[in-house]
Homo-oligomer: A and B are copies of this chain.
Amino acid sequence: MTATTENGSIAWKYATEGFGIENLPYASFAPAGQEARLGVRIGNSVLDVPAAVNADAAASSALRAAVAGPNLDALLAAGRPVWEELRARLTALIGSAAAAAALEENLHDVDAVRLQLPFTVADYVDFYASENHASNVGRIFRPDQAALTPNWKHLPIGYHGRAGTIVPSGTDIPRPKGLRPEPDGVPTFGPSRRLDIEAEVGFVIGAGVPEGEVKLADAGDHIFGLVLVNDWSARDIQAYEYVPLGPFLGKSFATSVSLWVVPVQALDAARVTPPARTKPLAGYLDDSNAEPWGFDIALEVVLDGQTVSRPPVAGMYWTAAQMLAHMTVNGAGLRSGDFFASGTVSGTEKNQRGSFLELSWSGKEPLKLDSGREMSFLEDGNTVGIRGTAPGPGGTRINFGEVAGRIRPAR
């Protein structure tokens, strides 16, 4: 299909496989000339969810209220019983030949609608959950120290990012400007020279908990669904600023997310047990007897049409449930609309690294592209797409679509 996003700046293609009835991801969409509303994808069509639910005599009043808004916000707040009711109703409606025919008037060609950010982001947290990524970054940035910091295996390291600059796939990314380190110690101001991606998976939270302390076993009551994330990173700005309080302007200019939120229920067949833990964990993080919250999602990083990496989410050390338990264990409240991302997904192999920092080993080993050109960091005009698929039931695939963005010159 070819989709054009809100700002109309990028068209891209991806396979239509993986959007069967096993998936049913949600988006906020607007037919031409109309207001945005909640949609669910089936094949190359998007079904108008409020229209379908309102025509469904079996739908509860709670469900009707939860799908009435322009995006996922009300549904996220409604909580898991309503999430499950909606998925069950949609599966029944779309799966029944009789009902499906009746739905036809509420189906739109996915190419003909405008898609926008699927939910309003409350707080955004980015984690650092891939051991391979953290080790690579440690070796690159702190070569005189151990690859992993001593705390890494004891807790999922994370930090708050800027919620207000999370943008939908298809948004152009102007090259950020900032203070860059120089050999003489005096930084210079200008456009980033080391603009990078981070291929990540993001988790959309519903059903807030004012007093935090979400247990591992309760993660499913709060993790509504998953998206793909590109945590654009200006490595030079980041390297100069991040000591001692962490990344700030090297990240905050933009974080792109994919447009379709895949419900957790679509990923039952993709659940995997995380790697064996090599350090003892505090009780609130100990998932040795918990349901598995790892996901076998295959990512693909595409630069200007060429696949440059295939990061495997399955090997991530920390799971979504552990990240959620950790970020609330201090009593920090959770709000519906909170969002957290995994951190860069990198596998053990070179062609499984989820950032150009790692793929080019900080510029020391540039990538050789099919065109014959060598590259280390992003140039103006580059388009990066991150795609993802996961196993569905009965040998099917679950498609996440793509998070894509094109680099514009600095303003």
Chain A interfacial positions (CB closer than 8 Å to B): 122-123, 125, 128, 141-142, 149-151, 154-155, 157-165, 174, 176-179, 185-189, 211-213, 234, 237, 240-250, 252-254, 279-280, 282-284, 326-327, 329-335, 338, 411
Whether A154 pairs with B179 at a CB distance below 8 angstroms is yes
**Closest CB of chain B to A348's CB: distance in Å?**
22
List the B side residues contacting A247 at CB < 8 Å: 159, 245-246
List the B side residues contacting A149 at CB < 8 Å: 243-244
Whether A161 pairs with B162 at a CB distance below 8 angstroms is no
**Closest CB of chain B to A269's CB: distance in Å?**
33
Which residue of B142, B162, B244, B282 is within 8 Å of A160 (Cβ)? B162
Report the Cα distance A74→B231, complex, angstroms: 31
Report the Cα distance A171→B383, complex, angstroms: 48
New contact pairs (5) apart from A151-B179, A178-B329, A234-B330, CB-CB < 8 Å: A151-B240, A157-B244, A177-B330, A188-B282, A331-B411
List the B side residues contacting A212 at CB < 8 Å: 253
Of residues A128, A163, A188, A334, which shows the largest number of chain B Cβ atoms within 10 Å of its Cβ? A163
Whether A241 pairs with B178 at a CB distance below 8 angstroms is no
Report the Cα distance A154→B189, complex, angstroms: 11
Whether B253 pairs with A411 at a CB distance below 8 angstroms is no
Whether A160 pairs with B158 at a CB distance below 8 angstroms is no
Report the Cα distance A213→B161, complex, angstroms: 18
Of residues A125, A151, A157, A338, which shows the largest number of chain B Cβ atoms within 10 Å of its Cβ? A151
List the B side residues contacting A161 at CB < 8 Å: 160
Q: Which residue of B lies closest to A213 (CB)?
A: B411
Report the Cα distance A164→B188, complex, angstroms: 35
Whether B187 pairs with A151 at a CB distance below 8 angstroms is yes
Report the Cα distance A304→B189, complex, angstroms: 47
**Closest CB of chain B to A129's CB: distance in Å?**
12
Whether A252 pairs with B329 at a CB distance below 8 angstroms is no
List the B side residues contacting A282 at CB < 8 Å: 179, 187-189
Which residue of B177, B237, B246 is within 8 Å of A245 (Cβ)? B246
Whether A241 pairs with B330 at a CB distance below 8 angstroms is no
Q: A283-B189, A330-B176 are in contact. Are A123 and B241 (CB under 8 A)?
A: no
Which residue of B150, B174, B187, B249 is within 8 Å of A326 (Cβ)? B249
Which residue of B158, B187, B284, B411 is within 8 Å of A189 (Cβ)? B284
Whether A158 pairs with B248 at a CB distance below 8 angstroms is yes
Q: A160-B160, A249-B332 are in contact. Are A186 and B122 (CB under 8 A)?
A: no
List the B side residues contacting A125 at CB < 8 Å: 248
Q: A123-B163, A164-B123 are in contact. Are A178 and B249 (CB under 8 A)?
A: no
**Closest CB of chain B to A212's CB: distance in Å?**
8
Report the Cα distance A240→B335, complex, angstroms: 26
Whether A245 pairs with B165 at a CB distance below 8 angstroms is no
